[in-house]
Amino acid sequence: MQLSIVVPTYNESPNVAELVRRVGLAVQGIDAEMIFVDDSTDDTPDEVRRAAVTATLPVRVIHREDPVGGLGGAVIEGFAAAESDVCVVMDGDLQHPPADIPELYRRYRAGDVDLVVASRYTDDGSAQGLADRSRVMVSRLSTALTRAMFPIRLKAVSDPMTGFFLIDRRAVDLEGVKPRGFKILLEILARQSVRVAEIPFRFAERHAGESKASFRQGLHFLRQLTALRFGKMSLFAIIGGLGALANLAIMWGLTHLGMNYLVAAVIGAEVTILANFALQERFVFQDMKGEASGVWSRFAKSFAFNNAEAVIRIPIIALLVNTWHLSSVIAAAITLAVAFVVRFMFHSLVVYAPRTAGKRSLAREVVDELDAQAVSPGEL
């Protein structure tokens, strides 16, 4: 098998037959297969099986009942199932023209690259298939933001947001790719060192069905981008920062209602401790929960530590207010900033620690884990 074409799908039933037909025409002369990795709630898997009967190339479908990792997870699962080490990834809505697959393959066959990106923003490429000018603008801005955050890794890539590319899976540590959503190419480029080339392509209009783009996906992308660039510590900092602002707002409001500032600080701390744990579970340490202790155990550790930290921090606030005559809000802000680093270390190394420890020394585990959690993946 020379080429495996991986198509992640979610409710693309109306497009399947035409996509299989066009791909079959495009890859004549190439020993290729198609793998649909499907997370649909409609009859897309059945449509794939029907299309496979008359297809001119082998076509199979993997229907995932538990779609871990979203679209990115589907792509990684497709790589694992592929018969060829050379894989093309494309969407199932025909906005990625199957006729360009041979050009991706020809460029790879030159032998000097591991990854060939089909770009809307190089040479005569085009994003004309985007629904309207606002989506074109959003695409351009998000691409510019992404390249600005990874200037070294993406210096040779004009369209890191595309979902249309060819990759030699032997050049990628698939276990090192931790898909968070739909921008799988960005995950690969940010986490792996690969040789990259581009070809232009013209982004077509959707063949049938409705676009999956949404405001929620935009927010998910921003979270994905932040996590990739700065690692877990950035997400922990964002949540901690929001919690600190909420803490200060609660304290300010209660003191202005006449409550003693120490009592107000206690109430603010308890409210934000609960909220921060929920957000950290959902957005920061979600990939570590499987190997960590149960949720109630994690909550108990987190709650106990944060309250112990508050017991220590609040007398320090009193000391700063009464001895140094600082504003109570400023004093609280100073102590919260110091507490952030300690909280991150405790949660990474204790709350979400795997149930079974390895054979490395404790000191080595601490250094390695802090390095991984604070800056991974980062940019070299």
Ordered per-residue pLDDT tens for the chain, 380 residues: 899 999 999 888 999 999 999 999 999 999 999 999 998 888 899 999 999 999 999 999 999 987 777 788 889 999 999 999 999 999 888 889 999 999 999 999 999 999 999 998 887 776 665 545 555 666 667 777 666 666 667 777 888 888 899 999 999 887 767 666 557 888 788 777 889 999 999 887 654 545 544 455 555 656 656 666 556 666 777 787 788 788 889 989 988 988 888 788 888 888 888 888 888 888 777 767 777 888 888 889 888 888 887 788 778 888 888 888 888 888 888 887 777 767 777 787 788 877 754 445 555 565 555 555 544 443 33
CATH topology of domain 3-212: Spore Coat Polysaccharide Biosynthesis Protein SpsA; Chain A (3.90.550)
Q: Which residue from 351, 357, 356, 236 is spatially nearest to 298, judged by alpha carbons?
A: 351
Q: Please report, in angstroms and rounded to a whole number, the separation of the first and last CA atoms in the chain.
A: 35
Facing residues of 38 across strands?
9, 63
pLDDT in the model for residue 136: 60
Instruction: Give residue limits of the domains in the chain.
Output: 3-212, 231-375
Q: Nearest 5°: phi and psi at 25?
A: -65, -40
- Cβ–Cβ < 8 Å for 224, 181: yes
Q: Helix/strand/coil (H, E, C) string of the chain?
A: CCEEEEEEECCCHHHHHHHHHHHHHHCCCCCEEEEEEECCCCCHHHHHHHHHHHCCCCEEEEECCCCCCHHHHHHHHHHHHCCCCEEEECCCCCCCCHHHHHHHHHHHHCCCCCEEEEECCCCCCECCCCCCHHHHHHHHHHHHHHHHHCCCCCCCCCCCCCCCEEEEHHHCCHHHCCCCCCCHHHHHHHHCCCCEEEEECECCCCCCCCCCCCHHHHHHHHHHHHHHHHCHHHHHHHHHHHHHHHHHHHHHHHHHCCCCHHHHHHHHHHHHHHHHHHHHHHHCCCCCCCCCCCHHHHHHHHHHHHHHHHHHHHHHHHHHHHHCCCCHHHHHHHHHHHHHHHHHHHHHHHHCCCCCCCCCCHHHHHHHHHHHHHHCCCCC
Structure confidence at residue 56 (pLDDT) = 94
CB 73 within 8 A of CB 86: no
CA distance 154 to 225: 13
Pairwise CA distance, residues 108 & 116, whole Å: 6
Residue 376 is predicted with a pLDDT of 44
- pTM (whole model) above 0.75: no
- Nearest to 41, CA basis, from 292, 289, 156, 212: 212
Q: What is the CA radius of gyration of the chain?
A: 25
